[in-house]
Amino acid sequence: MTTVPLFSRLGLTPVINASGTMTVLGASRVVPQAIADGAEIQSHFVRIGELQARASRTIARLTGAEAGFVTACSAAGIALSVAGCMTGPNLGRIERLPDTEGLRDEVVVPAGHLVHYGAPIDQAVRLTGAKVVPLGSPGRVRPFHLEDRIGERTAAGLFVVSHHVVPEGQIPFEDFVRVCRAHGVPVIVDMASEYDLRGPLARGASIAIYSSHKFLGGPTGGIVAGAKELVRAAYLQNRGIGRTMKVGKEGIAGTIAALEAWERRDHAAAREREAGFVRLWQERLAGVPGLALEVHHDWTGNPIDRLKVSVSPTEAGLYAWELADRLAAGNPAVHVRDDLVEHGHFFLDPCNVLPDEADVVAERIAAEVQAAIAAGDGCRISLPERLRRQDEAALAWPD
């Protein structure tokens, strides 16, 4: 790996991101044009409304929406969209939130979609003053649950597309849209980490929300796209609670550039490059004691494969979470996708990896397993202990 002068100057630990588009690691590599356009606009003044209108045209072209805008992040997009569904374009109501007296203020959400993405998704809804109405139970949500809970106070339905969602027993998207539309309830779809920019709106959603800084490779931001009247109502929240979620001129210009770069991207070539990294890891890790390897397609149907690495504590000499933590403790730090590590496995995600980094990932995993076997110092930290240490570390920041 090449040395980054800024990291040396600030005393930062270099990171190899084999975990995917994770916010805690900076999400993704920003594409060159987004960097250039964001930097160029920084030293100039611009009418933000005019710039957002320009973003709206780009968003509409790529998503099939009537309109769109850029906000601070996809979580902000959820909050602003919910707020817009409650207030409409009424400026008095916009300034009144989170006071929802007299407004439709309930948002129906399948119970299995109440995920935690670094914060609980229901909190993004509740910030507006709205109330979350869970549907069914986490592993069983049927259309009749939705029919039963929609009422005169229902402002919107929220549907989440994410690998965090409970994988079984969920209401199909088409049924969710059908029931909501039959009752005149707008459907908001959280697509923060998804490739499919056109599908949700084409299939009946009212608003779709994307992250600018994940697969799109833009600066930190969120994209709200959908029906013009609802998008306008959500955008107008910048005169109210959206003020705390505002995005700068560089974020808007960078997002426009990232969307245009996505439109020009050779997606087939990118997929082949990523698949090459997965093959390399398979080959390099095949003989490492205690590791079982399996290519795993993306949970939500994105065109990306990851390598599932299952760790046998008796053969590898350490638990899967210990291996993940030892990789992250190195220099450079190697971060793997470990959100399901309690099941004894983690994933290697190739989407943000460079060729020389792919080699380092394989070398480090093999070396950590061999070191644990030789030293016999693994299988010491239980999963509850690991979680306790993570919470303690968070509470100790910035020390």
**What is the pLDDT, as a whole number, of residue 41?**
98
Look at domain 5-24+267-396 and name its CATH class: alpha beta
**What is the pLDDT, as a whole number, of residue 2?**
66
Q: Per CATH, which fold does 31-264 belong to?
A: Aspartate Aminotransferase; domain 2 (3.40.640)
What digits encode the pLDDT tens for the residues 232-287? Answer: 999 999 999 999 999 999 999 999 999 999 999 999 999 999 999 999 999 999 99
Q: What is the mean pLDDT of residues 121-135?
A: 98
Angle at 377 between CA 374 and CA 381, to 5 degrees: 145
Nearby residues of 211 by Cβ (< 8 Å), 6 or more positions away:
21, 27, 73, 74, 192, 193, 221, 222, 223
**Whether pLDDT at 329 is above 80:** yes
Q: Residue 20 in contact with residue 211, Cβ under 8 Å?
A: no
| Percentage with pLDDT > 90 across the chain | 96
Rounded Cα–Cα distance for residues 399 and 392 (Å): 11
**What is the pLDDT, as a whole number, of residue 30?**
96
Rounded Cα–Cα distance for residues 257 and 31 (Å): 8
Instruction: Please confirm whether the linkage preceding 398 is cis (ω < 30° from 0).
Output: yes
**Whether pLDDT at 370 is above 90:** yes
Q: Residue 125 in contact with residue 75, Cβ under 8 Å?
A: no
Mean pLDDT of the chain: 96
Q: What are the domain boundaries of the chain?
A: 5-24+267-396, 31-264
What digits encode the pLDDT tens for the residues 164-184? Answer: 999 999 999 999 999 999 999
CA 93 → CA 235, 236, 245, 260, distances in Å?
Answer: 14, 11, 18, 35
